[in-house]
Chain A
Amino acid sequence: MKPKGKTAVHCRIVILLLLTAALGLAAPVTITDDGSTFHPADKPERRSGSRLFRISGMTQQYGLKTSIQQQRGEDGAWRTINSHVGMPLPTEANWFHSAFFGITANGRTIQDRDVVVSIDETGEQGLITFSWQHPLVDARVRFLLEAESDKLLMEVRWEGRPELKALAIEFVCYPQGYRPNPASVAKQEVLNRRMITAVRDIRQVNDVALDLPEEWWQIYQDTLLERAPFYNPSGPCALAILPDDVELAIEPEDQTMVKITDYPVMVKVNLAVTSGRARFALWDFTGKTTTDAEAIVTQQAPALLEHLRHASWLPTAITSFNAEEQVRELDNLAAALGDAGEPAVTNLRTRLTDLAPRLEALRQDLPSFAGEQQIMDELADYRLGVWQAARPTRHAPRVLLLEGLFGYAWRVAPIVRQAWGGEAVRKGDHSWKYWIGHRVSWFPATMDELLGFDVVVMSDFPQDPLTPDMRRMLAEFVQKGGGLLVLGGTYAYGAGAWAESPIEPLLPVQIGGLFDLRKLTKDPPLHLTEEGASALGTHQALGTVPWVHEVTARPGSTIWMTAGERPVAVAGTAGEGRVVTILGAPLGDQPAPCWESEGWPALLAGLLRYLASGRSEP
């Protein structure tokens, strides 16, 4: 009997889980950048903002957030006066949502300046890095996000100047919440913070020295909030400190101290300045009891200690780089490209020969920040070269579809799935809520991830959901040879606010005003021009577009399709990439519109094939 409704869904989930377990597959780790939001300034000279990174693919839904305060300088420019990292997910409680750690050098914060954030990897594992450059020290906090893991692994690395004498990190948490619920208040019950370690269980005491290495892990909880009602789920949190790199001097001021107050719990760890690194693990056990947490931490502790010692916080692009496999890949590429590809492949072989030993050396040592960055840049460049060289060998375009409100009418996803299968398209969808802002449901976190696609389609998609980093990455993708197809709608072109973005100069059309939609008084059928037919072949029965965006074709662009005299498709190039803009908007109720026409699927497939193959002459 065929299961129905919820049963069917549950069956599918169970089957999927079993398959996943059987194949040893883990869901990929993704990091979604919600973009920066600056709150309205409470004073003209000061403002605050935040940027949330949502992490999925772990067993707990963590989120990391930068919190920035800025002050306006005399020149009118905003200058960051402090920058922190908070953990608002899985709960606003536990690790402080706005600043769960602070770093001091010689007793003063190093976070009185801008923080630089980079998402370094997503997929099998995630890496996200927060860096501060201070006169005393360059510090980098990198989180290693392991698939199916329940905890964040954190590495602090630093490169100190000679003046650096002391370095410390202080963690802040509000275990299980900030305040008692009304029923507890009525009974005059107060918060009761508690710390559990391998050797003791203590309540609300200021300045307790941790006995490291014995007490290298601690669980923090609140005995009152443990009884939180079901609608306010809570749970304890825990911290593990790899003692190897911590100052263990017996001087009281150098010990790792915990303050267990009736509000925050703070753990100050004095780092061994010369070691250059320190490692931690942080759990948020929301949804679990303290008993659960204790069982989990004690069960994980032995292996975790070794894992913290030996795990690599480098991208797998470095740690898993296999030169022999790369050689084989280049051999295959050479065979597929034939003589025409020989110069490109030879160039890649030379770069690989240079890169491989340096990558190996990097894996064996603690690399300098600059050294690691240089290798990463070279590696990215090498991979880009492979992607560019392999382009002519790909016959099924891989499409990243950025879809806006009315973009569905263009039917890009179903047409691509029909033509090349479900794996050929991945969507990033626009959401807009005035109380949240513009978001994109998914966008590649790294350039490497973006190179998994050949064409980006923006279907009625505005620029707002993309962060500046995403826009820059997208522009770079096109200039390096990626394809871009822009489809119209009420959030496209003028209303898409693309002006002044790095994407706009890449388009073969000049965007006009915000209100650029015009209704055609007649509905002339669409025709490919000679140039369009030359690039895409003959296509018929393309229907009509009642609404078009009024834009200006840029010099050097080519008009490929018209409705009467009006251009509807304009093609151009940008760097090594190809760009096509469809100026029709999928609006109106007229019969036989282009997007529902018989000819549209084949035309769209032709456009995507064209765009995927890149510009032939750089």
Chain B
Amino acid sequence: MSSYGRLAILCWLVAVCTHGQVVQRVWPERIVVAPGHEARVAVEVANPGAVDVVIELVVRLRYGIDAEDVLPPSPIAIPAGRSTTTTVAFAIPPDRKWGHEVIATLANGSEAREFFTVGTNPWELGHYITIFMLRGRKESGDIDRTIERWRDSYVTAFEGFSWQPSVFDGMAPPELEIWRSGQGGYKESKEDWKYLIDQGHKQGIAAITYIQCFSYGPYGMDFARRHPEWLTFGADGRPAGAWFDVDKLSAYRDAPEDQGFDTPGGITTGRFLLTRPEVGDFWIDQVIASVDMFGWDGFRSDGMPGIDSGYDIAGNLVEAKDRDHNAEYLTKVRQRITERFPNFLYGWNNVAGGYPRMHNSAAEEAVMLKDAYSLYEHFRSAPDPKSDYHTWKKMVAHLQQEGDAVREGGGFPHAGWMASLHNLEAVASASGVQIDTWTVEPPSFANYRRFEFRWSEFLWDNKLRHLRPATDAVTVEAPASIWWQEFVQARDLPNGGRRMIVHMVNLPDNDNDAWTDQPGPEATNVTVKLLMPPGLKQNRLLVLSPDMEGDVVTVSIADDGTVTIPTVVRWTMLVAEYTK
């Protein structure tokens, strides 16, 4: 070998041996950790060098405005050319809640981070997504890939949408392994659903089943036929709330696998008469049996079984004169299911704020809202220029009217289902409402979802209240395109403190341009002057934006407390905390 050759090998060896070790991945085992439990985080470190090394690893946990826990440094031994995964654990105190960032740093400065959250209700903490048509997706590996995508999008709960052979009565079909769903005709199987739920659970993702008061398809129609005395009839002597196409029902019955995706018929079996309480009990039993069979963590009710007025099969009119009967039934639902599954999660389609109209009585809302998901599905029409929610001003007014009512009741306001975008995420979260979308977002959009996940405490905390007029508490000097007066919120903190939040959302002048996801012209040197609550003093202030690398915006604060934000791109949030 020539001297040049020897020199080259030597150079290569030097380069390899001194090449930096890197943190390849930080991965919380569970995306949601229950308070009082341990958060385990896997840290994968690679050593691309040619010699074995031992390097020091420091893992930190950030949460709240600026709180940080640091684990003692630990040496990591990594063989040459290999990677090592070490698992660290944080004891999460019982009173801890909301988004956490875990950061792993090597002595050479290599660093990686990831996020998880702490709490008990996934609807409050992170994003919700829907899924159906699962058959065959375990074997193809698609379920595993789907869960990975959900983790990347900070999904804390998924919904099994209309997966049942019949929604009201087919939640635990012992006799079926595969089926076409009664609503939509989706191809489903028991094995695939169980696998998805099990795999989701391993990662802390809750599984929510979609429920309704309708029996669907051949399976559901046969249920209705076999229980005629359970049905409610109209004044015309016919089953109430039925719609069907016998031609399609026959086709689904005779050759289910040859059919397209359709709903051949449905019947409202789950709205029962006061004289038929056994129907309501049957359904509660169905839910319990379904949880036993599949392992659901909760339900989202899109048309709740309950008590209705109508005729029985003999033509006797049975009137439920007020909605209190239904409130009693809802109470029974929560009691009986919670008795069996103490952590069961409840979610409902709802209109708590009154627009376009109230569906439930105050007594029903009192039962439904507490610690429950509340979906404002009317809102899905918002992108349509003809919608009453169209124009962003109207949208915000309606969202906040609904969201405020849900928060007052102790629930978690969501709106959907619709395609989301940056502007919508900003406006909805700044209003205290989460947007439910059915897609896993593209990477650019995922940053907004991550931002919301980490800082959820300042967005979705249902103890936050809008301050109106906002000018009583804050003054913002900014171009007209910056919305802020609609987005000022506050809440009391333990020990007499107070938290105040000011969102600044920059939307284009042209209303429809917001739907094409354009921000307004970039605003510079926006100033925020907070009026100090009497008797309190400011002790923390943080300005955040998903449009900025690392989320935290560096601001200048004048002697009089005026905060100057150098740039507002699309969405910036100021959080201030006061103590006595």
A contacts, CB < 8 Å to B: 5, 9, 182, 403-409, 413, 427, 429-434, 441, 462, 490-491, 494-495, 497, 513-519, 547, 585-589
Contact = CB atoms under 8 A, between A and B. Distances in A.
A90 to B, nearest CB: 20
A585 B239 CA distance: 14
Interface stretch (B90-98, B246-254, B526-534): B246-254
A547 B231 CA distance: 14
Nearest to B245: A431
A407 B246 CA distance: 9
14 contacts: A5-B257, A9-B258, A403-B250, A405-B221, A406-B221, A407-B246, A408-B246, A429-B247, A430-B246, A433-B243, A490-B228, A490-B239, A515-B315, A519-B229
Contacts of B221: 405-406
B236 interface: yes
Nearest to A405: B244
Interface string B223-263: 00111110101011111001111111110010001100000
Contact of B313 (A405, A408, A462, A515): A515
A429 B245 contact: yes
Contacts of A429: 245-247, 250
- 8 closest cross-chain pairs (CB), A and B: A515-B315, A514-B237, A495-B237, A429-B246, A429-B247, A431-B245, A589-B226, A587-B228
B228 A517 contact: yes
A143 to B, nearest CB: 26
B219 interface: no
A519 B238 CA distance: 16
A431 B228 contact: no
Interface string B299-313: 000000000000101
Nearest to B253: A408
Given A513-B237, A515-B233, A589-B226, 19 more contacts: A5-B257, A403-B250, A405-B221, A405-B244, A405-B246, A406-B221, A408-B249, A429-B250, A431-B245, A431-B247, A432-B244, A434-B243, A491-B238, A513-B315, A514-B236, A515-B311, A517-B228, A517-B314, A588-B226
Contacts of A407: 246
Contacts of A515: 233, 237, 311, 313-315
Contacts of A547: 228
A495 B242 contact: no
A494 B226 CA distance: 20
Nearest to B311: A515
A56 B249 CA distance: 22
Nearest to B251: A429
A432 B243 contact: yes
Contacts of B253: 408
B245 A490 contact: no
Interface in B237-291: 237-239, 242-250, 253, 257-258, 265
Nearest to B231: A490
Contacts of A586: 225
Given A587-B225, A588-B226, A431 B236 contact: no
B278 to A, nearest CB: 13
A587 B314 CA distance: 14
B244 to A, nearest CB: 6
A441 B237 contact: no
Nearest to A4: B257
Q: Which of A182, A518, A589 has the most CB of B within 10 A?
A: A589
Contacts of B314: 515, 517-518
Contact of A517 (B244, B246, B313): B313
A399 to B, nearest CB: 15
Q: Which of B221, B238, B258 has the most CB of A within 10 A?
A: B238
Interface string B52-75: 000000000000000000000000
Contact of A431 (B229, B238, B239, B246): B246
A188 to B, nearest CB: 15
A491 B224 CA distance: 13
Given A495-B236, A515-B311, A404 B227 contact: no
Interface string B334-354: 000000000000000000000
Contacts of B239: 405, 490
Nearest to B312: A515
Contacts of B233: 515
A432 B242 CA distance: 8
A409 B228 CA distance: 14
B163 to A, nearest CB: 21
Contacts of B246: 403-405, 407-408, 429-431, 441
Contacts of A519: 229, 313
Contacts of B257: 5
A369 B265 CA distance: 45
A533 B265 CA distance: 39
Contacts of B265: 405
A494 B247 CA distance: 23
Contacts of B226: 587-589
Contacts of A403: 246, 250
Contacts of B229: 519
Contact of A495 (B238, B243, B244): B238
Nearest to B265: A405
A463 B229 CA distance: 24
Q: Which of B225, B227, B313 has the most CB of A within 10 A?
A: B225
A431 B238 CA distance: 14
A431 B225 contact: no
Interface in B363-414: 385
Contacts of A589: 226-227
A441 B235 CA distance: 26
A184 to B, nearest CB: 15
Nearest to B316: A515
A588 B228 contact: yes
Contacts of A588: 226, 228
Contacts of B247: 427, 429, 431, 441
A427 B250 contact: yes
A491 B239 CA distance: 9
B487 to A, nearest CB: 29
Q: Which of A403, A408, A494, A497 has the most CB of B within 10 A?
A: A408
B547 to A, nearest CB: 27
A405 B245 contact: no
Nearest to B239: A490
Contacts of B248: 431
Contacts of A432: 242-244
Contacts of B258: 9
Contacts of A430: 244, 246
A140 to B, nearest CB: 34
Nearest to A491: B238
A514 B237 CA distance: 5
Contacts of B231: 490
A342 B229 CA distance: 56
A490 B237 CA distance: 8
Contacts of A434: 243
Nearest to B222: A409
Contacts of A427: 247, 250
B52 to A, nearest CB: 54
Given A431-B244, A515-B233, A490 B249 contact: no
Q: Which of A432, A490, A514 has the most CB of B within 10 A?
A: A490
A494 B225 contact: no
A405 B221 CA distance: 8
A366 B19 CA distance: 100
A568 B225 CA distance: 19
B359 to A, nearest CB: 19
Contacts of B236: 495, 497, 514
A9 B258 CA distance: 8
A449 B257 CA distance: 33
Contacts of B250: 403, 408, 413, 427, 429
B271 to A, nearest CB: 15
Q: Which of B228, B249, B258 has the most CB of A within 10 A?
A: B228
A114 B457 CA distance: 69
A588 B228 CA distance: 6
